Amino acid sequence: MDGNPAPAIPSSAGASVNRPLPREYFFDSEIYQREKKNIFARTWRYVAHQNELAGPGDYMTLKIADESIIVLRGRDNQLRAFYNVCQHRAAELLQGCGNIKGFITCPYHSWSYDHTGCLRSATNADSVPGFDKSGYGLTSVRLEVWCGFVFVNLDKDAQPLAEQAFELEALIRQYCPEVETLKPAARQDYTVKSNWKALVDNFVESYHLALSGPAHKAFTDLVDCRNFEVTPHAGGPYSYLWSSHHAPAGPKNNKAYRYADERLMGGNNDFLSIHLFPDIGFVFFPGADALVAFVTAPDGPETTAEIFAYFTRDGATDEDTQKGVHYFSYVLGIEDNDLVERVQRGLRSAGYRGGALMIDQAKSGRSEHAVARFHEQIRDLVG
């Protein structure tokens, strides 16, 4: 397997065309293992909005780079994260999400831990010479609440997300001053038969918007794509940490969904989508008082779990917002996933010779320069 970038194709002007990642990066299991080690185990991973873990005892579990993690709001109202493994003989403690009224109790031998991770009960411990419960607490994981959203990081030395992405935080708070207090309003889950990077590529370029299916052509009426701006940003240790994708709103009476009132959230009705490396997105769309979290979780080299999570001020959605949710979840999202799965199948073809990224000199809204920056960051971390 040749994992090196293909040589650039000479252009007629003597320059070179930017090439995307080699196709093996989208299905090779060895590369995927390096991504788990060098990306997912070392970056801030999205969990939920803090109000999805609102009450004492509320918990969620998630998988990061083959590790199962518990995120729990304790009786002291503090959010904490732990590796989801009992310190006795390594049984998995919790599954899914829910609420723990008392202790975290192992289903195997009933070792019990409090909400701070301390071992409180181990049957027969008093009869075991030298056994000290204080040495058998749960192993903690770094947790940070950023813009009201909960993130965890397996790398104990990682730079705080608030330091890496302070400029992005200012932008999100500009568009959603109430971001800390949002409540979950709607959610759509998908299983996409593609590599996670193909989904990100699709998210960070607008070249396809006017050129693909009917849902995307309708999007170009919802949003003024003639004035689309795509801006990649560095942050922390990353040459590419995030990108912003902005355009003014089109007419209220558009082909995607018609709405009566402009979005109140943030004081403007513009479209804004944000990609946060490696694979999280946030979206504001015209006419809908909601913030959308675009969440992906790789489940192998060619399968990705995808979530559209919608958040509003009070957990309710008005008629205009419901129209937006339906369009993005059941019309545009479905068409996007079909396109991405087509790409994934095509990447397996011996007839694909490596492609080209269409990056114009003006870095216009149709230019794929954000894809190039994303791919460069992948190369830097994975090799």
Domain 23-41+167-382 sits in which CATH superfamily? Naphthalene 1,2-dioxygenase Alpha Subunit; Chain A, domain 1 (3.90.380.10)
Under the banding of pLDDT at 50, 70 and 90, the label for residue 16 is low
- Residues 164-204: tens digit of each pLDDT: 999 999 999 999 999 999 999 999 999 999 999 999 999 99
345 contact partners, CB below 8 Å, separation of at least 6 = none
Q: Which residue has the tokens 């918990």?
A: 59
Mean pLDDT, to the nearest integer, of 117-134?
96
Please give the pLDDT value at position 6. 44
- Residues 88-105: tens digit of each pLDDT: 999 999 999 999 999 999
SS3 call for 202: helix
State residue 178 phi and psi, 5-degree precision.
-95, 20
pLDDT at 227 over 50: yes
Nearest to 23 by CA among 383, 354, 359, 360: 354
Length of the chain: 383
What strands lie across the sheet with 119-121, from one edge to the other? Answer: 104-105, 112-113, 119-121
Domain 45-153 sits in which CATH superfamily? Rieske [2Fe-2S] iron-sulphur domain (2.102.10.10)
- Residues 139-150: tens digit of each pLDDT: 999 999 999 999
In the chain, domain spans: 23-41+167-382, 45-153
Name the least confident of 13-17, 65-69, 264-268, 339-343. 13-17
Question: Which helix (H) or strand (E) is 285 found in, with range?
Answer: none
Global pTM? 0.94
For residues 206 and 329, what is the distance between their CA atoms, to the nearest angstrom?
Answer: 18
pLDDT at 233 over 80: yes
- Residues 247-282: tens digit of each pLDDT: 999 999 999 999 999 998 888 999 999 999 999 999
